Amino acid sequence: MQHTNTPNTDELDINRVLIANASMPYEKKMLQLVGGDEARRSELAGKLLSGIEKPNLMMYHVDVLHSHDGHRAYEFLIEFCTNDPSVGIYYGCRGFTKKQYSHPKEIQQFIKEFEALKDELIQKLNRRFLGKDFTYRLLPTDNTDSKTYWLFWIQLQPDEDICEVALPATILIRDIFAKYFGMEVATTPPAEQSAASPYDVLLRECATYAYNHAPLFESIISHLETDGVFVREADEEHVWRFMGAPKHSTNADFSRLIHLIFSEFIHPPKFQTEDNAKLVPWRLVRSVFLDKHGNAFKESVRTQWQYEGITDAKTDFWRNKIASLL
């Protein structure tokens, strides 16, 4: 007599219970995208662009872009599979090949586009979400179900808020693709919550000592922008490139300028104590300011001002520059 490994009814029942229990916290997280209202669950119904319904998927769609040649569509969404809770919630860009075109051929185009954008995606996600590193978080897909293909997906970590990380990250990803395609994007759907930008956090940092120096910081940056020292990134409201000034445009010059702003203007010496000895919030600064080529400054920029000291002639140049502008 041959034995089989077919699960009995009791085993199937307990598996269903285990899967349902494991899915519950993720489903509650997904519902936060619609205000935590169970009555709005239908807004998260799983449905592909082809019209195929996926009852086991919960989807929150941010936007859909279409390729100029009409062959492909790009969904920017947050998704959860209730049948596979071990994967958790994930978000990113899912491609869709329109029915009259070859899916394998269009996948090659999806791959090409992702490779062209990968570095920019990582850099901007890292700047947007302080303390997180997306270098190895943009994961490849392992299937091409129903003419779909995830260009990449990012798993939401257990300690990450879906409205403060997954939603703004997906919007940012959409914006990066739209810029690459030369497209105007629709107004971003309202979110119940959204993460503060690095610039907003930096302003709050400027307001934590003695007096509220956030307006002073904004004034200094505005004047330096008018003077051409900083140039605003075209596609990001509060991100600037450091262009410097003639003979004062190195990374060390940027380091001197930023240290000077914080040590003599934002936190004047009479307000400095051992508790705030680290005057410059460099992690925030490196998220808001880029080098002249549009690249993030390296960690070493935080100490480059020390090479020649805070009293050298090059620092005097920036001290006089700020004084003349204010």
Q: What is the pLDDT of residue 277?
A: 42
Chain-wide mean pLDDT for the chain?
86
Report pLDDT digits (tens) over 212-246: 678 889 999 999 999 999 999 877 778 999 999 99
How much is the pLDDT for 309? Answer: 54
Count of residues making up the chain? 326
What count of other Cβ atoms lies within 10 Å of the Cβ of residue 68?
Answer: 9
Residue ranges covered by each domain of the chain: 9-181, 198-325
pTM over 0.75: no
> Which segments within 82-129 are labelled E, that is strand?
89-97
DSSP letters for 138-177: -BPPS--GGGEEEEEEEEPPTTS-IIIIIHHHHHHHHHHH
Helix (H) or strand (E) holding 226: helix 214-226
Q: Cβ distance 71 to 96 under 8 Å?
A: no
Token pair 């190895």: residue: 136
Q: What are phi and psi of 281, to 5 degrees?
A: -80, 75
**pLDDT band of 13, cuts 50, 70, 90:** confident
pLDDT the model gives residue 12? 67
Tokens of 243: 């262009």
Q: How far apart are the first and last CA of the chain?
A: 93
